[in-house]
Amino acid sequence: MQTETQTATPVTTPVPGFMTVTEAAASQIKELLSEEGKHDSGLRVFVQGGGCSGFQYGLMIEEGGAGVGDLAFESNGVRLFVDPVSISYLKGAEVDFVDTITGGGFTIRNPNASSTCGCGQSFNP
């Protein structure tokens, strides 16, 4: 008897306007990818439990492409990947790069957050 092996095929759905990346953030992301020689990679944006407000944002370079159920789309020339759990928390969010006197970094402006903590990295939906 022969058994069939099935492999999961990632579901990638282009969703224009679901999330945006500002030009400042796109420039920084492209620079990081270029410096690391990861031109075909993108940015994974996710939400996980933790932080002082209950949930926290996460950003990481995604080299493997979309996973099963992920949304994969592009904004300002940057490919974005969002997992199925994070999708509902991030609809309409914007990834930005802010440069201040005390330093620079990525930030997420999220219209779904009812409150955020002082660090800006955690939120309560």
Cα–Cα distances in angstroms (integers) from residue 107 to residues 5, 21, 57, 95, in the given order: 42, 10, 9, 6
Q: What per-residue confidence (pLDDT) applies to 112? A: 76
Question: Is residue 64 packed enough to be buried (19+ CB in 10 Å), middle (13-18) or exposed (0-12)?
Answer: exposed
For domain 20-116, which architecture applies?
A: Sandwich (2.60)
What count of Cα atoms within 13 Å lies in the side-chain half-sphere of residue 82?
A: 26
Domain ranges in the chain?
A: 20-116
* Residue 32 scores a pLDDT above 60: yes
- Prediction pTM value: 0.75
Q: What is the pLDDT of residues 38-82, one digit of tens each?
A: 988 999 999 887 666 577 888 999 998 888 888 888 899 999 999
User: How far apart, in whole angstroms, are the C-alpha atoms of residue 111 and residue 107?
Assistant: 13
* Residue 6 scores a pLDDT above 70: no
- CA 76-121-85 angle, to 5 degrees, is 70
pLDDT confidence of 116, banded at 50, 70, 90?
Answer: low
